Structure 1
C-alpha cells in the first residue's frame, strides 16, 4: 500500500489555519483522497488532555521548559496513535499545527531550536510533514482577525504581547527560508475560497 501524505498548516495567530484545514480536506476528498484532519496540541485522547493543560490558566502557569516538555509529550502520543497509523494506511493527514509551531512559539520564549528538535527526535522519532503550508498575513490584519475570533478571550498563547507574536512570525519565516523544499508560503489575504485554492495548488505535485 502506498504511504499517505502528511501536510501541516502553520502560521501565527489569526491566519485562518483551522478554517483552511477543513476546507482543504474537503477539496482533497473531492479529488478522491482519503483524508484525516487533526490538530496540535491534540488529536488523541491523551494529547487533548495535555492541550487543556497548555492552553488554559494564567500566562505564567508553565515555564518555557515545562511547556516544551508538555508539547513534546502530546506530540509523541499524537504521532504514535494517529499520524503514523493513518499514513501507513495510505491516508492523507492534515494537521492544524505541528512541530514548527512548537519551534516558533518556544523559541520566542527563549528556548534553543536544537533542544526542541532533540525533544522531537526522542518523543516522535523526528517525523516531519511532507509539506508545510505556511499561511502568512500582515501583522495588523492577523491581530484584527485573532481579536474577532477570540472575542477578547484568548488562550495562554494568543493573549501574549505583540513583540512575542512578532518573534513567532519571524521564526516561521526563518524556518521557511532555511527549508524551501518542505515549506510553501501561502498568502492568507484573499477570501477563504481563494486561500483554499492556493493551498490546493501548492500541493499539486503531491496530488498528481
Structure 2
C-alpha cells in the first residue's frame, strides 16, 4: 500500500512543478515583451528628441538655461552695417564686460585681433552708438562707458568708492521714466539718472575697518 501511494503521488507533484515552471516562463516572456516594447518606444522617440535639440541649437532663444551669445552679425545687418571682425569683436567684448571703458574694450579686441588699431576701435564704437546697438554713458568724473543694454532707458548706480557701475530699472513707469513739472514745451524721449552710493563690497570693507 505504501508503494502504491507513493507512485500515485509522484505524477501530482511533477505536474505542480511543471505548472510553476510554465508560469515562471510565461512571466519571463511577458517581462521581456514589455521591455522590448519600451525599447521600441524609446528608439522611435529618438528622431523627435534629436529634432528638438537641433531646433534649440538653431534657435537659442527657445532653449532654457543660461542665455547664449546674441547674434551680433544679424544685429549689424539689421542696422544696415557691414559685418566686420572688429565690429563683432567689440560687441563680444561688451557682452562680456558691461559698462566697459574704451581701454578695456581695446584690450579685449586686441586679444583676438592683434592687428587692430585703437582708432579702429574708436570708429567701431562711434558707428555702433550712432545706430543704437551700443549705448554710451559718462557718469560725472568718469570716462565714457559703453554697454549693450539699449532701448529701455534704464538708469545707473555708481559706487563712489570703487566706481563700479550697475544697471537700475526705470525709477518711475517706463521711458522716459521721469518728466519735470515745467518742461517749457520740450518733448522728452529719454532721461539719464545716475544714483550715487556705496556698493555692498565697499560697505562691508568700510565696516570692517571701522570695527576691527
Which structure has more relative contact order (CA 8 Å, sep 6+)? It is 1
State the structure with more CA Rg. Answer: 2
- Pairwise TM-score range, normalised by the shorter structure: under 0.3
